[in-house]
Homo-oligomer: A and B are copies of this chain.
Amino acid sequence: MVINMSELPIAPIGRIIKNAGGLRVGEDSEEALRQMLEQYGDDISRQALLLAKHAGRVTVKASDIELAVKEIE
């Protein structure tokens, strides 16, 4: 599912790119990475919710996130 909710602020995204190696960070690259990370976060979260419900819980736990990452890889 494609989303465009822009929850993540742009400045830390730029730092993640900058930290990776020191090249200049184009503004469009920050927006591109933000969209990728929000999409990935949404995919993980949806799977984690299914896992939490499956376990009979109403709270998403770290173990749900961790298993969800393995499942969607």
Taking Cβ atoms with an 8 Å cutoff, the residues of A that contact B are: 5, 7-9, 12-13, 15-17, 19-21, 23-26, 28-29, 31-33, 36-38, 40-42, 44-46, 48-49, 52-53, 57-62, 64-66, 69
Contacts and interface: CB of A to CB of B under 8 A. Distances in A.
A53 to B, nearest CB: 7
Contacts of A69: 36
A5 to B, nearest CB: 6
- Tell me whether chain A's interface is mostly helix, strand or loop, or mixed: helix
Count copies of this chain in the complex.
2
B16 A62 contact: no
A28 to B, nearest CB: 4
A59 B24 contact: yes
